[in-house]
Amino acid sequence: SCTTSSKKAITGKLLGPSFKAGHLLRKGISIIPTQVEETDVVIVGGGVSGLAAARWLKQNSDKEILLLELEQETGGNAAAGKNEQTSYPWGAHYLPLPNNSFTALLDFLHECKVITGYNEAKLPVYNEYYLCFDPEERLYINNYWQEGLVPRWGVPQKDQQQISRFQELMDELKDAKGSDRKYAFDIPLANSSADTQYRDLDKLTMLEWLLQHELTSEYLHWYVDYCCRDDFGSSLENTSAWAGIHYFASRKAEAANSEPHRVLTWPEGNNWLVQCLRETCADSIRTNAMVYNVTEVNGKIAVDFMDLRTQKYKRLLAEKCIMATPQFVNQRLLNNIPAISAQRKYERFNYVPWLVANITLKDVPQGKGFGLCWDNVIYGSKSLGYVYANHQQVALFPERKTITFYYPLADDKPAVARGKAYSSGYDYWQEFVLHELEKAHPTIREQVEALDTWVWGHGMICPVPGFIWGEEKNTSATPYADKLYFAHSDLSGISVFEEAFYQGISAAQHVLNITVA
């Protein structure tokens, strides 16, 4: 924690990923450790991608592996916290029902009993405790809470018609296939059609695409912009149209006991899934291990790290290594492999900063209209509203409620937004969050007891036009010398659990020389 405050009797802290480590890595460490250990495979980074790679190697080989994670806990962006009443997410909070073609993910969900079995039609049966309970979503619009997030309350007829036309276009694109017979939009996105008819949409912004289709309604624009901010932290103006459409057209789930649009969620968000992944490889994980240099020594990969607990420097020598770290980190770690540092460019890897707050209240004030839901969004606000963490608890009427507020800092260029975010203290963020929430709940301040904030300086990769199917990302994902592999969600270009999981598994398959299906 950085600072604490008791302003207005609301207690709170400002938290975030290890800032000191980032500073050390930017400055550079040139120490060559004398303490050396050997292993078969090293995985750098213990987010979803690194953990998915470790699980796969454990289950499909007898290789000795070691996973090095900078923070005290694994999980990366899918971090979670806890108060006396409930667990809550600091990052990722839900997983949409996956496509049934993504069998590796279904197998994992079966393993951790999120899927309890399959019906006669081979459709997955989902555990009812993890399917988001009703009521799922509401939107505060024209001074009223309406059910669902698509704007309707007080929305003029002509706008509603445009919204319907947009939804019809998305439904068509959901079924569309390219000349290679692959879906135009699929998850993992690497399985999507290579047909230029679709991939060329990556050259446009989502706003340009809407305008090309004469979709001009401000209500529709707000809704699509909200969806881009929710999934990518970016706005209509800087999201690739391919990525924006992917949000609506890539999901084709079918379940035995659920509507396809429902989501899987837990009070602690996707950290629940992280714990399941972690259990499969716990004995191979070393936390508080800050990797600062990865290089090639006598045909092996040398991974140098500092043990943050003992301040000792160590080297691991491995046959193979998976970098499950984002490229803005790899950029600092791979400088001593000339073939990599000379060839790779990172300018187009843009990471949007995010602000997340967890707020404990006596009660969420009731406004006019539909009651408290899991996801509560405010029309016209640049925040994503809030998620109600107690929603998935089975206990009724908790004494205190906890809500998680999300805000992507998408208005400035990422580096500028990051600078501002790092230089703002706790009091600034407390006021910022309360001000946003007051747009729907004018009396909320009186209810708040604790308000903690978390700044993600590099929250999410932003799919700016030309990035997803561009050269730069492709080059960064290419393995080096059959020894060094890359597996972070930024190499998909969109930051979601499914892509991180896919990246981890496909790197692990490459390590084992298995051709990826």
Ligand X SMILES: Cc1cc2nc3c(=O)[nH]c(=O)nc-3n(C[C@H](O)[C@H](O)[C@H](O)COP(=O)(O)OP(=O)(O)OC[C@H]3O[C@@H](n4cnc5c(N)ncnc54)[C@H](O)[C@@H]3O)c2cc1C
Q: What residues does 240 pair with on adjacent strands?
A: 205
What stretches of 203-299 adopt beta strand conformation (E)? 263-265, 285-286, 289-297
Contact yes or no for 475/334 (Cβ under 8 A): no
Stretch that binds ligand X, among 161-169, 199-207, 287-295, 435-443 (CB under 6 A): 287-295
| Binding positions for ligand X, 84-103, rule CB under 6 A | 91-95
Q: Kindly state whether residue 77 participates in binding ligand X, applying the rule CB under 6 A.
A: yes
For 280-396, where are the alpha helices, taking DSSP H only?
327-333, 338-341
Residue 141: closest CA among 132, 133, 150: 150
Minimum CB separation of residue 399 from ligand X in Å reads: 27
Nearer to ligand X, 70 or 508 (CB): 70
Q: Given candidates 12, 16, 244, 326, which one binds ligand X under the rule CB under 6 A? A: 326
Nearest distance, CB of residue 330 and ligand X, angstroms? 9
**Which residue is listed with tokens 């991608």?**
49
Burial of 396 (0-12, 13-18, 19+ CB in 10 A): exposed
Give the max Cα distance, the chain.
Answer: 72
Short-list 248, 228, 247, CA closest to 239: 228
* Beta carbon nearer to ligand X, 54 or 437: 54
267 sits near ligand X (criterion: CB under 6 A) = no
Stretch of 118-126, 239-247, 394-402, 495-503 lying at the interface with ligand X (CB under 6 A): 495-503
Contact between 301 and 317 (Cβ < 8 Å): yes
x/- binding map, residues 387-406, to ligand X, per CB under 6 A? Answer: -------------------x
Cα 423 to chain centroid distance, Å, stands at 24
Q: Which is nearer to ligand X, 44 or 220 (CB)?
A: 44
Nearer to ligand X, 245 or 352 (CB): 352
- Total residues contacting ligand X by CB under 6 A comes to 40
Query: Interface residues for ligand X in 11-30 (CB under 6 A)?
Result: 25
- For 144, the 3-state DSSP assignment is strand
The secondary structure of 435-463 as a DSSP string is HHHHTT-TTGGGGEEEEEEEEEEEEEE--
Is there binding between residue 457 and ligand X (CB under 6 A)?
A: no
Pull the structure tokens for residue 273. Answer: 């899934």
Contact between 246 and ligand X per CB under 6 A: no
Letter string b/e over residues 137-154, b meaning 16 or more CB atoms within 10 A of that residue's CB: bbbbbeeebbbebbbebe
Stretch in the footprint of ligand X (CB under 6 A) among 5-13, 218-226, 435-443, 489-497: 489-497
Site for ligand X in 30-69 (CB under 6 A): 44-50, 68-69
The answer to whether the beta carbons of residues 50 and 42 sit under 8 Å apart is no
Residue among 220 and 332 whose Cβ is closer to ligand X: 332
- Name which of 91 and 151 has its Cβ closer to ligand X: 91
Least separation in angstroms between CB 356 and ligand X: 5
Distance between CA atoms of residues 92 and 77, nearest Å: 6
Cα dist from 192 to 243, 402, 475, 492, whole Å? 12, 39, 19, 12
User: For ligand X, which residue of 405, 456, 467, 502 counts as binding (CB under 6 A)?
Assistant: 456
Q: Are 137 and 375 in contact (CB under 8 A)?
A: yes
Distance CA 229, CA 385 (A): 11
* Of 54, 70, 184, 440, the one binding ligand X by CB under 6 A: 70
Q: In this complex, which beta carbon is closest to ligand X, that of residue 150 or of residue 500?
A: 500
Q: Which is nearer to ligand X, 115 or 207 (CB)?
A: 115
Q: Which of 162, 293, 325, 506 binds ligand X (CB under 6 A)?
A: 325
CB 105 within 8 A of CB 237: no
Task: Report whether 437 contacts 373 (CB < 8 A).
Answer: no
Point out which span in 107-115, 140-148, 170-178, 289-297 binds ligand X (CB under 6 A).
Answer: 289-297
Is residue 495 a contact residue for ligand X (CB under 6 A)? yes
Judged by the rule CB under 6 A, the positions of this chain that interact with ligand X are: 25, 44-50, 68-71, 76-78, 91-95, 270, 289-291, 324-326, 329, 354, 356, 406, 456, 459-460, 488-489, 495-497, 500
